[in-house]
C-alpha cells in the first residue's frame, strides 16, 4: 500500500502525448493510373517534447506509386489557467497512383522518438480498371502489363516521350489501350510537332488524363498523358506505333517570368511494336467476320406479340458488350415465315470506362404480318471471338412467339387497320401507305377543259400600300399640327384687334360727324366723343376717367405737340358749348372744325 502510494506520489518523467494522425483522400475509388491526393495531418503537443515527430511513413504497397507533393506547418498556442501550451500541426500532401486494380489499405504512420504511431483510422483506396504498364510500373507488380519502363538512357534526358500500351500482344480486332506520355524533369515549353502514328489500327480517341508527378530514377518527373486511344489492330503481324516528335524549348521561371534557357531541341518518341496474332482458325465459325472480336450479348424484344394480319410490329435486336461494336457484323436478321421485313433502323451508343470501350447497338426491324396464326421468331445467333479466353463464343437471343389474328372482313377498315404506328414505318412501308391513300385521301384534280382566268382575288391592300398608308398618318398629323401652329402664329394680337376696333369706331363717329356738318344734328356731340376717345387713347390708360384739364396735361406729358393739345381742348370746349346751346355754328364753321379734327386724328394715326 505504502509502496503503491509512494509509486503514486513519486515524480514521473514528463512525457509528451502521442502525435495524432489524420489521413484524408480526395476519393476512395479511382481508375488505375489516375492519381489520388492524400493529405496526412500530424498533430503533436509540444509540451515535454524533445523533438517533433518525423515525416509520415507511407505504405509500400505493390502496384501503388507514391509521390510527395507538398507540406505545410502551423502552430497554435493556448493560454489557460496560467499555463501556456502549444500544438504543432504539420500537413503532408502526396499523390498516390495505383498501377493495377485492387484495394489498397493506406496504413500511414509517423516515427515518434523511435516508436511508429499509426493513424487510428485506416483509409482504403480502391483502384478499378486494367493494369497499367510503362514507367510507372516500376513500383508495381503488373503481371498483365508488358510495357517497358523508361530506360536509364531515357531517364538521363530532360524531356522524352514514350508510348505505353496495356498489351504487347493481342489478337486482330482486340482492344489495346495506348497512351503517349511526355516526361519532363525541367521547366520547358513543349510543342508537339507530330503525333504518334497509329497505322493499321482502328483508333478510338479517349480523353487524355491529367499530368502526374512521378519519382523515378531518383528524380521528380512530370508526366503528361498527351494522347490516349483505344486501338483495334486490323491485321496480324508486328505492328508499329510511331513515337511522335516534340520540340522542347528549355526555360526558367513560370508564366510571365518565364525566360528561355538554352537552345530548343527536338525529341523523337521511340516507336513501339505490338505483336498482333491472327484469329485462330480452329473452331472458327463459317463466314466469321474478323470484326467480331470482343465480348457481346444479343437480346431481342418485340413491341407487341398480338397483332392483326397486315399490321406491323417492331423487333429490336440489341447487341451490347465491349469491343469494337461499331464495326460488328451481326449477319442477317431473321424473317419468320408469314412475315415480311424491311431494312432495319440502326442506333449506336458507345462509351469508355476503365480503359475499355463498351457499346450498345440496336437494330429495329419492321415486320408486317402477311398471314394469320402463330408466328415464331427464331432465335438469332451472333458469333464472336473472345480474346480473354481466346475462344469463339456464341450469343443467342430468345425465340419469340407472335399471335397474328386474321384481318377484319370490313374492307373499309383496311386503310386504318393496317396502318402501323408512323414511327415504326420503314421506307417501303411508308411508300406503300402513300400509295394506298392516293385513291382515297387526296382530293381529285379539277379536270376542267380550260383554265379559268382572272379569278384570283388579289388583295387591294398590298404591302406597299399598307406601308404608304401607315406613313401617311403621322404625315397628316404633323401637317395638321404645323397648320395649327402657323395659324396661331399668323393670328393678330389682342392689341392689334383692339386698335382695329378703335379705328373702326373712330371712322363710324367721323362719318356720323360728317353727316351732321350741314344740318348740325349731333355734330358736336359726335365730334366731342370722337376727340375725347382719341385723346384718351393717345394719353393711355391713366387718362381714363380723368377730368379734361388732367387729360390735357397727360397728353402734354406724353409728348404731344402743344398745338394738338390746344386743339383738343378747344374742340372739346366748343363741342360742349354747342351741345349746351352756348354757341351755334354755321355749317362752314363745323366743316372747318371737322377738318381740323380729321387732320389731328390722322397725325395720331387714329384713322
Partner 1 sequence: MLAVVLCGPVLGIWSTVAGADVVDSAYKSAGEAAMVGHWSEAVTQYERARSLLASPSAELEYDLGTAYAHTNELGPAVFHLRSALRLAGNDRVREGARRNLSVATRRVSLRAEVSGARVSMYEGWKSRAERLLRSQAVGWMSLLAGAYLAGLAIVRVLAPGVLRRLRSLLLTLGVICACLFLSLGVTRTIALGADPEAVVAGERVPVREGAGHHHATAFHVEGGSVVHLKESAPGWRRVRLDDGLEGWISERSLLL
Instruction: Using CB under 8 A, list all residues that contact partner 1.
Output: 345, 422-423, 425-427, 429-431, 433-434, 437-438, 441-453, 455-457, 459, 461, 463, 466-467, 469-470, 472-473, 476-477, 480-481, 483-484, 487
In whole angstroms, the minimum distance from the beta carbon of 472 to partner 1 comes to 7
| Residue number with CB closer to partner 1 (460 or 580) | 460
| Residue number with CB closer to partner 1 (58 or 366) | 366
| Residue number with CB closer to partner 1 (442 or 490) | 442
In whole angstroms, the minimum distance from the beta carbon of 588 to partner 1 comes to 55
Q: Kind of pairing, strands 123-128 and 29-31? A: parallel
| Residue number with CB closer to partner 1 (60 or 422) | 422
Report angle CA 91, 92, 94 to the nearest 5 degrees.
Answer: 150
132 in Cβ contact with 164 (< 8 Å) = yes
3-state helix, strand, coil in the chain (%, to 5): 25, 35, 35
| Residue number with CB closer to partner 1 (477 or 587) | 477
In whole angstroms, the minimum distance from the beta carbon of 21 to partner 1 comes to 58
How many Å separate Cα 296 from the centre of its chain? 38
In whole angstroms, the minimum distance from the beta carbon of 474 to partner 1 comes to 8
For 93, the enclosing helix (H) or strand (E) is strand 83-98
377 in Cβ contact with 404 (< 8 Å) = no
- Which among 38, 68, 73 has a CA at the least distance from the CA of 53? 73
In whole angstroms, the minimum distance from the beta carbon of 459 to partner 1 comes to 5
What distance, in Å, lies between the first and last C-alpha atoms of the chain?
150
| Residue number with CB closer to partner 1 (466 or 519) | 466
| Residue number with CB closer to partner 1 (201 or 342) | 342
In whole angstroms, the minimum distance from the beta carbon of 424 to partner 1 comes to 9
In whole angstroms, the minimum distance from the beta carbon of 427 to partner 1 comes to 5
CA distances from 91 to 36, 65, 96, 117, 381 (A): 16, 20, 16, 16, 60
| Residue number with CB closer to partner 1 (199 or 467) | 467
DSSP 73-90: EEEEEEEETTEEEEEEEE
Interatomic CA distance for residues 191 and 226, integer angstroms:
11
| Residue number with CB closer to partner 1 (256 or 451) | 451
C-alpha cell at position 587: 355749317
C-alpha cell at position 376: 415464331
Interatomic CA distance for residues 339 and 337, integer angstroms:
6
In whole angstroms, the minimum distance from the beta carbon of 289 to partner 1 comes to 25
In whole angstroms, the minimum distance from the beta carbon of 487 to partner 1 comes to 7
Q: Kind of pairing, strands 400-405 and 306-308? A: parallel
329 in Cβ contact with 426 (< 8 Å) = no
Interatomic CA distance for residues 498 and 504, integer angstroms:
10
Amino acid at each position: 500500500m505504502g509502496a503503491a502510494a509512494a509509486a503514486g506520489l513519486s515524480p514521473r518523467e514528463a512525457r509528451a502525448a502521442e502525435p495524432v494522425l489524420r489521413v484524408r483522400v480526395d476519393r476512395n475509388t479511382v481508375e488505375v493510373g489516375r492519381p489520388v491526393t492524400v493529405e496526412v495531418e500530424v498533430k503533436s503537443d509540444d509540451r515535454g517534447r524533445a523533438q517533433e515527430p518525423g515525416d509520415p511513413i507511407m505504405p509500400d504497397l505493390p502496384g501503388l506509386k507514391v509521390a510527395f507533393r507538398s507540406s505545410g506547418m502551423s502552430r497554435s498556442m493556448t493560454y489557460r489557467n496560467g499555463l501556456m501550451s502549444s500544438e504543432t500541426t504539420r500537413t503532408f500532401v502526396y499523390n498516390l497512383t495505383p498501377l493495377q486494380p485492387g484495394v489498397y489499405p493506406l496504413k500511414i504512420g509517423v516515427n515518434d522518438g523511435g516508436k511508429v504511431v499509426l493513424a487510428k483510422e485506416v483509409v482504403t483506396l480502391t483502384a478499378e480498371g486494367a493494369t497499367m504498364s510503362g514507367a510507372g510500373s516500376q513500383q508495381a507488380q503488373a503481371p498483365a502489363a508488358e510495357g517497358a519502363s523508361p530506360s536509364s538512357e531515357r531517364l538521363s534526358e530532360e524531356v522524352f516521350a514514350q508510348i505505353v500500351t496495356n498489351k504487347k500482344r493481342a489478337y486482330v480486332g482486340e482492344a489495346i489501350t495506348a497512351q503517349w506520355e511526355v516526361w519532363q524533369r525541367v521547366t520547358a515549353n513543349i510543342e508537339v510537332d507530330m503525333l504518334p502514328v497509329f497505322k493499321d489500327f482502328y483508333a478510338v480517341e479517349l480523353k487524355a488524363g491529367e499530368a502526374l508527378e512521378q519519382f523515378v530514377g531518383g528524380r521528380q518527373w512530370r508526366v503528361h498523358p498527351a494522347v490516349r486511344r483505344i486501338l483495334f489492330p486490323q491485321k496480324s503481324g508486328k505492328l508499329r506505333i510511331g513515337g511522335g516528335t516534340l520540340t522542347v524549348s528549355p526555360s526558367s521561371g513560370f508564366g510571365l517570368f518565364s525566360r528561355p534557357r538554352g537552345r530548343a531541341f527536338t525529341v523523337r518518341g521511340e516507336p513501339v511494336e505490338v505483336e498482333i496474332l491472327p484469329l485462330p482458325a480452329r473452331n472458327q465459325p463459317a463466314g466469321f467476320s474478323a470484326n467480331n472480336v470482343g465480348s457481346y450479348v444479343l437480346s431481342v424484344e418485340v413491341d407487341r406479340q398480338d397483332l392483326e394480319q397486315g399490321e406491323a410490329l417492331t423487333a429490336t435486336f440489341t447487341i451490347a458488350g465491349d469491343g469494337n461494336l461499331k464495326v460488328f457484323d451481326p449477319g442477317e436478321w431473321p424473317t419468320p415465315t408469314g412475315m415480311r421485313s424491311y431494312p432495319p433502323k440502326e442506333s449506336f451508343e458507345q462509351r469508355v470506362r476503365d480503359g475499355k470501350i463498351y457499346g450498345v447497338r440496336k437494330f429495329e426491324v419492321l415486320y408486317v404480318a402477311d398471314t394469320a396464326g402463330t408466328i415464331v421468331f427464331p432465335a438469332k445467333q451472333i458469333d464472336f471471338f473472345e480474346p480473354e479466353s481466346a475462344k469463339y463464343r456464341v450469343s443467342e437471343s430468345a425465340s419469340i412467339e407472335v399471335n397474328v389474328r386474321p384481318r377484319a372482313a370490313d374492307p373499309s377498315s383496311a386503310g386504318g387497320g393496317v396502318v402501323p404506328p408512323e414511327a415504326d414505318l420503314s421506307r417501303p412501308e411508308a411508300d406503300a401507305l402513300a400509295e394506298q391513300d392516293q385513291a382515297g385521301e387526296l382530293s381529285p384534280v379539277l379536270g376542267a377543259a380550260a383554265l379559268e382566268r382572272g379569278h384570283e382575288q388579289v388583295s387591294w391592300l398590298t404591302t406597299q400600300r399598307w406601308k404608304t398608308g401607315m406613313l401617311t398618318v403621322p404625315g397628316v398629323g404633323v401637317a395638321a399640327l404645323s397648320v395649327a401652329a402657323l395659324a396661331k402664329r399668323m393670328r393678330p394680337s389682342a392689341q392689334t384687334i383692339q386698335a382695329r376696333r378703335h379705328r373702326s369706331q373712330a371712322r363710324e363717329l367721323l362719318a356720323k360727324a360728317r353727316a351732321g356738318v350741314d344740318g348740325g344734328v349731333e355734330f358736336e356731340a359726335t365730334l366731342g366723343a370722337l376727340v375725347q376717345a382719341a385723346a384718351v387713347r393717345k394719353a393711355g390708360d391713366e387718362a381714363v376717367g380723368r377730368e379734361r384739364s388732367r387729360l390735357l396735361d397727360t397728353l402734354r406729358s406724353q409728348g404731344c405737340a402743344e398745338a394738338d393739345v390746344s386743339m383738343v381742348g378747344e374742340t372739346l370746349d366748343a363741342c360742349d358749348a354747342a351741345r349746351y346751346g352756348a354757341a351755334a355754328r354755321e355749317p362752314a364753321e363745323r366743316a372747318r372744325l371737322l377738318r381740323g379734327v380729321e387732320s389731328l386724328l390722322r397725325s395720331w394715326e387714329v384713322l
